[in-house]
Amino acid sequence: MRYFFHIVDKYGLCPDGTACECADQGAAVLHARRIAAELAKAGEFFRASFVLIARTAAPGSASSR
């Protein structure tokens, strides 16, 4: 399943235009936590940010209809 990891801060949404394949929702949450941890290392500007996970189904799958 493909997941998008959008970054949201006080200025708005920074959309993820590429997405990432994750085995399941749990793996997507772990990936989002890693992204958030890296953002936190960037300093005060990114500490108010959070990562929004959005799932998309593969074209032609039963979930996408």
At 39 the pLDDT is 85
What are the beta bridge partners of residue 19? none
65, part of any domain: no
Nearest 5°: phi and psi at 33?
A: -65, -40
Spell out where the chain has E strands.
2-9, 12-14, 20-21, 50-56
Query: Domain count of the chain?
Result: 1
Whether residue 64 lies inside any domain: the answer is no
The DSSP secondary-structure symbol of 9 reads E
Report yes or no on 7 lying in a domain. Answer: yes
Q: Which of 53, 51, 7 is nearest to 26 (CA)?
A: 53
Residue 23 tokens read as: 């085995």
pLDDT digits (tens, 9 = 90+) for 10-65: 888 999 999 999 999 999 999 999 998 888 887 766 667 789 999 986 555 554 44
Write out the residue range of the structural domain in which residue 9 sits.
2-58
